[in-house]
Structure 1
């Protein structure tokens, strides 16, 4: 059947009992299939154990832009290393509610990659993946030079080599770090119970100049968000939302705030805070927080209920 799908551009499979999506067994070698496929969505496939069966090198995913995988509880991985090398146009990868998934790219004993590149990836969303440990279980670096949106929620064991991590951010060289971060516009960290630090290593390597939104919710081991040098680089930051982080005692480490029982200072120093475009300030259930002198050229609306509800609805 797959021979007749060469003009297929969008494939959505949902609520089915299939065990694999693509069968390449018995097909003519030397040919490539599915070269026009642009979007793959797999949803609520309770028996799906593998996306393909047979020689995966026959799959041509060079034009795939979107992959969405939701509630496929028997899947243990998504791609082989060789398939990942063909994802040249992938812009959005969304994986959610796959209880057995422990890696995105399969570790293959016969193939070792020094570097995995997803050259067009803009959005990576990983949500409710209890067993996910690695993006790729190897010593490879992962380069995503156009990454703009990163969402990691309810992935308590997730970590990866030379890439973002739900525990700590490990970047082993300046070039790789800047490739990954320079286009990042939104950072969202949600329900990461073991997250102790957003970064590890020289924080001056972090380039957050294009970040517009930072959302941190239920990260109970975090004690602070940014170093002073990192805060100086947040030139485009428009929205900062921090909620339910029980151990957080300052936003900017000495060297939108809700349910932060230990929060005392925005920054524990004598510095004033200049936010010339600040319009809305929401502080709720932060009993120890001392509101600093926010210098703004605009009228600041404090705890405006209507604006708060609009924000809350959009973020959650």
Structure 2
């Protein structure tokens, strides 16, 4: 049973969780557009991240634990062939007055401005009532240095939602993408911090369908002109990625094209990468009753998360 799982070198070992995370910068040769900057995988994966243990800024019913405690509890672990596991407590019944269910939030020690970020994920915690998993990045002095949500959703969602959060004066057009535009204003100070977002056009992009398909690859290209996100199901990963020579120009139309009336370099810089799984909170908790697959399971999201640890074996 797995939650976040990434797998290395895009090998055939696909039934585990987070295999590999590659960050690439502009190439210095004419042979390729990008060259490898950082590879995060295997035994050293967690050495590249800080474990964040403070209160959840999204007010989730969650208790983020330290690296030592996460390892002791089995919430993080290296797996065979370079993959890593990131999970949550799925054995403790809690009181609704407790701090929350134990989980992990990791933030990269290194930060980046611009680049191509490729994550091979074989399993994610989504599609489970009460969960709010995310793979994202953010800069200092939020939201002035921006936030990029690559993979995110809540409760029984089946479609990934990709979002930017910024300071004022940043909107996107929603053109040149296969995803569906939901909101165009990225300003975190309006519309209850909805940001500018699009949902994926691929049915296997999130949650249970994603996991049933053995996951896939998310690629995010961040330049001075745009931020684009592609998703490739396991059976459709481009050969150039598998060969370690990624060429976004050959990938076709992205799922999300964040481009419009927005100065990218003004709004986005020095981003740390984050993986986390929270519960309920400002999004999953607030839409609990509206989710047909979850609202009838308990009076509130917190009631369900506290009383049903076994529901989170795959989170």
Q: TM-score, normalised by structure 1?
A: 0.24
Q: Give the number of the structure whose residues are more often helix, by fraction.
A: 2
Q: Give the number of the structure whose residues are more often strand, by fraction.
A: 2
Q: Rg: which structure is higher?
A: 1
